[in-house]
Structure 1
Amino acid sequence: MQTSFDDKVLALRTKGEAFAIATVVRTVDATSAKPGAKALILADGTIAEGWIGGGCARGAVTRAAIEALGDGQPRFVSLRPEELLDAEGRSHGEEREGVRFARNRCPSKGSMDVFVEPVTPPPDLVVCGESPVALALCELSSRLGMRRTLCAPGLAEGKAPEVERLLDGFALQTGIGADRYVVVATQGKGDEAAMRAALAAGAVYIAFVGSRRKFAALCERLVADGVAPSDLAQVKSPAGLDISAITPDEIALSILAEIVAERRGRQRREDRSNGSP
C-alpha cells in the first residue's frame, strides 16, 4: 500500500502536477481510518490513492485540500460529531487558531483530526538557445528551486550545463500545472521557432534576449506569418532588469532577478485576492 502511494506521489511530481497529502493524526472513539492513514488528493478533489475514511470525512477533507492547493497553505481539519461541537460551543465550518471544525455524521460518533499539506510543483524555467547568456541562465539558476529545461538544438556534446531536462528542439509540453518562465536566448539561431514555442507554452513570463530593434524585426516577421500582435505584446524585451549588465553572467543575473520579482509579485497579488494581509 505504501509503495503504491509513494509511486503515485513520485509520478505526480515527475509530471509537475499539484496535489495534497491528507494525513490522519488523531482519532477518538471508533473511526474507519486510524492515525497514520493517508490520502493523495488531486487539484479537483479526487482521491487518487490512499484512505482517510468514508464519505463522512471525505467531503470536508477534500474541500480543505482544494483550498490548500489554491493558496499553498496547509490546513488542519477536526471532524467531530455534531453533539460534541455543540457541547464545546463550536460550529461546522468554524476556524479557531488554525483548526477548522467540521461535522462528522458517521454513526460511529467518533472524532478525527486530519492535516492537509499541499504539494505544488516548482516553477518551470525554460531557456531556449545555446548562447552564452542561455548557458549562464542555466548555471546561475541552479539554486533558485526551479525545474530547468534547456532547449538547444544541435548543442555539442559536453557543452550542456546540468539541467533537469535537455531538449534537442523547441517542442514544449503544455499543461504542466506549474508556473512557467520562458527565456528566448537563441540570439539569431532559431529565433522564430523558439518564440513560437514560447508563445504556445502557456508561460506566465516570456522574455527575449536581444535589442529592441532585433525584437521589432522578429515581431514583423512573425506577424506577417500569422502570429497575433497581442501575443507578442506580452513578451518582455529587452529581457531582465536594468542593472547596466554587459557580460553574459550579468545579463543572466538581471533576467533571473526579473523572474524572481515577477514570481513573488504574483504570489503577493494572489495572497491579497485570497484575503491574506
Structure 2
Amino acid sequence: MTPTPDVLDLVNNMKARGEPFALATVVRTVSLTAAKAGAKAIILSDGTMTAGWIGGGCARANVLKAARQSLSDGKPRLISVQPKDVLEEHGLTAGEAREGVLYANNMCPSHGTMDIFVEPILPRPQLYICGASPVAVAIAAIAPRMGFFVSVCAPKADHTLFGDTDRLIDGYEIPADSGTNRYVVVSTQGRGDTAALKSALSTPSVYVAFVGSRKKASVLREELTVAGIAPSLLETLHAPAGLDLGGITPDEIALSIVAEMVEIRRHGQRQSDNQKEGTS
C-alpha cells in the first residue's frame, strides 16, 4: 500500500516549486465533527482539494470558496461553521462576517461547530538580476530580505561573486516559464548590455530596469530599436534604475533599486485592495 503523503511535506515541496495554494487548518471543534483540531488540507487555485482532509461536505464547500477568495486577494480567512440554531442564538446569519470571522451554516446531522483557518501561500515575486557588477551583487544580497526569489543571470565564471542565491543561471537568458510576477534588473556594466536587455524585454514584466547613465540608456534604446524591439516595450524600461536617493556607492544604488521595486509591488497591491473595497 502506498503511504499517504504528509501534508506539511507537500506544503514544503509546493513552496519550493513556487506554486500558489491555500492551506486550510481546523483550529477548533465543538461537539461532534468529522475532523478534529489540527486537521489540514491543501487547496489549489482552481478550488481543488489536492491533499489532506478537513471534514465532510458541510465544511468543505465553504472552505473551498474561502480558499479561492484568499488566493485571489492574498488575505487569510477564518471560517466558523455552526448549526443554524447556534448562529441564531448569537444573532448571526450564514454568510455574515463579523470581527474577522466568516460564519457558515452546518447542515450536517452531527450539528457540530468547526473553525477553519484558510491561509494563502503565494509564491515570492521573481527577481532576475542580469550581470555581475558590484551593484548586481549588492542587489542579490538585499532583495531576499524584501521577499524576492532571486535568480542571477550571468556568465558562469562570475557566479562565485555572489553569496547564497536562490538560483544561478549561466548567461543572460531568462527562462520562458518565469511567470508574470517578474522583476528584472540589468546591471551588466558594459558586458553584454544589449543581449541582457533583449532578454529582459522579451516577455512582460512588472519592472525592468537598467543600471547606468541616462546617456548610456539612450544609446542602448536606439540599438534595441534597430534590433526590432517594440517602442512600447522600451518605454517600460526604468533607466536610470532606482529611486532618486542620491546614492553613490554600489550598496546605496542597490538600495534605491530594491526600494523602487518594493514601492511598485506594494502600490499595485494597494490599488487592488482599493478597487475591491470600491466594488464591495
What is the TM-score normalised by the length of structure 1?
A: 0.89
Instruction: Determine the structure 1 residue equivalent to 2:253.
Output: 251
Deviations 1:85-104 (A, max 9, x none): 33433211101111111122
Residues 142, 27 of structure 1: alpha-carbon distance in 2 compared, 3 angstrom cutoff? closer
1:112 aligns with 2:114: yes
Tell me the CA shift for residue 249 of structure 1.
Answer: 2.2
Q: How far apart in 2 are the matches of 1:7 and 1:77? A: 25
Equivalent residue for 2:226, pick from 209, 224, 227: 224
Q: How far apart in 2 are the matches of 1:40 and 1:63? A: 13
Instruction: Determine the structure 1 residue equivalent to 2:53.
Output: 51
Tell me the CA shift for residue 177 of structure 1.
Answer: 6.0
Q: How far apart in 1 are the matches of 2:107 and 2:121? A: 29
- Structure 1 alignment gaps of length 5 or more: none
Q: How far apart in 2 are the matches of 1:200 and 1:46? A: 33
Residue type at the aligned position of 1:89: G
Q: How far apart in 2 are the matches of 1:191 and 1:244? A: 24
C-alpha RMSD of matched pairs (Å): 2.3
Q: What SS does the aligned partner of 1:274 have?
A: helix
Of all paired residues, the percent bearing the same amino acid is 50
Tell me the CA shift for residue 229 of structure 1.
Answer: 1.1
Moved more, 40-49 or 195-204: 195-204
Equivalent residue for 2:210, pick from 208, 211, 224: 208
Instruction: Determine the structure 1 residue equivalent to 2:71.
Output: 69
1:147 aligns with 2:146: no
**Structure 1 contact 129–184 (Cα < 8 Å) conserved:** yes
Q: What SS does the aligned partner of 1:58 have?
A: helix
Tell me the CA shift for residue 115 of structure 1.
Answer: 1.0
Instruction: Determine the structure 1 residue equivalent to 2:10.
Output: 8
1:30-179 → structure 2 map (5 Å cutoff): 30-156=32-158, 158-174=160-176, 179=181
Q: How far apart in 1 are the matches of 2:106 and 2:176? A: 40
1:264 aligns with 2:247: no
**Structure 2 contact 156–169 (Cα < 8 Å) conserved:** no
Deviations 1:114-158 (A, max 9, x none): 111222222322210012221122123353332211111243463
Deviations 1:4-53 (A, max 9, x none): 31221112111112221111122233322222110111222221211112
**Structure 1 contact 149–164 (Cα < 8 Å) conserved:** yes
Instruction: Determine the structure 2 residue equivalent to 1:274.
Output: 276
The count of aligned residue pairs is 276
Q: How far apart in 1 are the matches of 2:252 and 2:27? A: 49
Tell me the CA shift for residue 173 of structure 1.
Answer: 3.6
1:26 aligns with 2:28: yes
Residues 36, 261 of structure 1: alpha-carbon distance in 2 compared, 3 angstrom cutoff? same
Tell me the CA shift for residue 219 of structure 1.
Answer: 2.2
**Structure 1 contact 17–178 (Cα < 8 Å) conserved:** no
Q: How far apart in 2 are the matches of 1:72 and 1:187? A: 37
Tell me the CA shift for residue 194 of structure 1.
Answer: 1.7
Tell me the CA shift for residue 3 of structure 1.
Answer: 5.1
- Structure 2 alignment gaps of length 5 or more: none
What is the TM-score normalised by the length of structure 2?
A: 0.88
**Structure 2 contact 159–168 (Cα < 8 Å) conserved:** no
Instruction: Determine the structure 1 residue equivalent to 2:185.
Output: 183
Moved more, 193-202 or 108-117: 193-202
Residues 15, 173 of structure 1: alpha-carbon distance in 2 compared, 3 angstrom cutoff? farther
Tell me the CA shift for residue 252 of structure 1.
Answer: 1.4
